[in-house]
Amino acid sequence: MMIRSWALHAALVMAFALPVVAQREVIPGSGSAAVHEEPQKTLEQVLASMPESMPPAARQAMKGLFTPTRGTSSTEGIAELQGKAQAAAAEFLIEQLDIAPSAFAHAHMMHVLPDIPPIRAEHGLRAMGDAAEPYLITALQHDSANIRANVARFLGRSENPEVIEALTKSIDDPSPFVVLATASSLVRMKAQVSPKPIRKLLEHEQASIRGNAVDLLGAIAERRDSEIIDAISARMKDTELRVRYQAAYALGKIGSPRAVQDLLAHIHADDEKLRLSVIENIGKIGDVAATAPLLRQYERTEDRTERWAILHALQKLRDPRAVPRLIEMLSAENGNAGVGAARALGAIGSRAAVPALIEALEGEDVSVVLSCVEALGQIGDPRATDVLVGLLEHDQLRFAATAAEALGAINDPKAVRPLVKALYRPEAAYDYYQKIAEALTAIKDPSVVPALVNGLRQEPNYARLTAYRALNRLTGENFSDHDPRTFDRWKQWLKDHAELLGYDMKANESPAAK
């Protein structure tokens, strides 16, 4: 072990010291002396950096590498030495990768980077950069499956087409660990991956290999790959629970409606985590065929976490057929269930839910009320304008700010004056004013500009700054907000553009003054 550590030190020093030697200028006419002089200096530096206890065999091997071939020019000699050093370093470092991939991954996870040779070797290969790639490609044919697997994983950082070609050939390796490492690297490199060798691993005796194969197939499959989807769906009945988790996640990632029924078959599973995973991934797929089964499961279960997951899935499905039942939940539930029902109604966007959402604003649960306000903004029905305008004067600023966002989404000109008036809340922080400004700029109505111009004279300072920035976004004009003449300049701008905006300068005055 001691000899290997000296060799590692020597190989690394040679790999990274010799390129510097090669870059030095060769003095014309220096003859063969220059061939030996620079390598000799480098050799002395390398040997001096090592303790006297370095094995004699290692010292002798180093001297051999630094002896140039007869008859070569100085440049050729240095280049040859550099190549020998790189080869020695790369080949030695690759041999240190002979460790089970799982142990390698565990070492990384435990952050024992300086403690074991394989990880030190990996850092050395990374430092060599492109120079190590030819040796790594060759190592894909190494006798050790551990080395082949770790080299395949390491090469996944490359963008070299030759590396992609070599990895593509290695996908048929007899070792399952090499197949998984190779496929993982090709996925990371966004290269084409043949699913056939990976599918074979779905029946492997080791659960970890089956699970990793499921993960990789989920990453490379497309919605139309029915055979792969069916193969992953079959793993929903795997003897290992973790493989079933991975299969549910992979099916959700692929997003094919073909998998919905297979997932629904496990919605009553004994394991709670598996039920939650099934529900979550049904939501990711977004097939409305799952709406009725999800609603039935909501009625069947008393588990609050599971009910929340179902409401979140319904939010993603956006099926209008769920609206009547969601309205019932909204009026009957508080807490997470009420919030989930309101969010689902907002995502669906059905105007039929507006009266129920408005009525729910009278509730006592703050989170439910705020979710209903957000839902009304998502639906965008002007019937909600008046009640939301009323919330702009709420004692709690978060209600006013959320109502402002919803009014901006509804885009009703009736909200312009109340929104400008809402700027004048001396106790508010900047983010409150920012939400008011965003709401005003979202309303596509000419009356917004004059209202903001009149707001430039108001207190507090945040209100003026917010009005100025909103005007800048709406008009493209950039009068300095620090200039005391800013209001007069905007007033003149408004006068010049009054006809275009349909604004009567004489008939109107500051909405805040009224």
Q: Which residue ranges form the domains of the chain, and what is each CATH number?
A: 2-95 (no CATH), 287-379 (1.25.10.10), 417-514 (no CATH)
> Could you report the per-residue pLDDT of 12-48, keeping only the tens digit for each?
555 545 444 434 333 333 333 433 455 556 555 555 6
> Could you report the per-residue pLDDT of 284-295, keeping only the tens digit for each?
999 999 999 999
- At a CB cut-off of 8 Å and minimum separation 6, what does 355 contact? none
**Given pLDDT bands bounded at 50, 70 and 90, which one contains residue 475?**
confident
Return the residue matching tokens 């279960």. 301
Q: Quick check: 216 and 156 in contact, CB under 8 A?
A: no
C-alpha distances out from residue 404 to 393, 419, 421, Å: 11, 7, 12
**The predicted structure's pLDDT at residue 86:** 76
| Peptide linkage before 176 cis (omega within 30 of 0) | no
Q: Estimate the share of the chain in helix, then strand, then coil, as percent rounded to the nearest 5.
A: 70, 0, 30
**The predicted structure's pLDDT at residue 35:** 39
> Could you report the per-residue pLDDT of 178-235, keeping only the tens digit for each?
999 999 999 988 888 889 999 999 999 999 999 999 999 999 999 889 999 999 999 9
**The predicted structure's pLDDT at residue 347:** 98
Q: Please state the three-class secondary structure of 374-414 as a single string.
A: HHHHHHCCHHHHHHHHHHCCCCCHHHHHHHHHHHHHHCCHH
Across the range 241-262, mean pLDDT stands at 97
The residue among 109, 40, 41, 34 whose CA lies nearest residue 73 is 34
**The predicted structure's pLDDT at residue 3:** 42
388/398 Cα distance (integer angstroms): 13
Average pLDDT in the chain: 83
| Residue scoring higher pLDDT (82 or 273) | 273
For the chain, give the percent of residues with pLDDT over 70: 78
The residue among 384, 305, 309 whose CA lies nearest residue 346 is 384
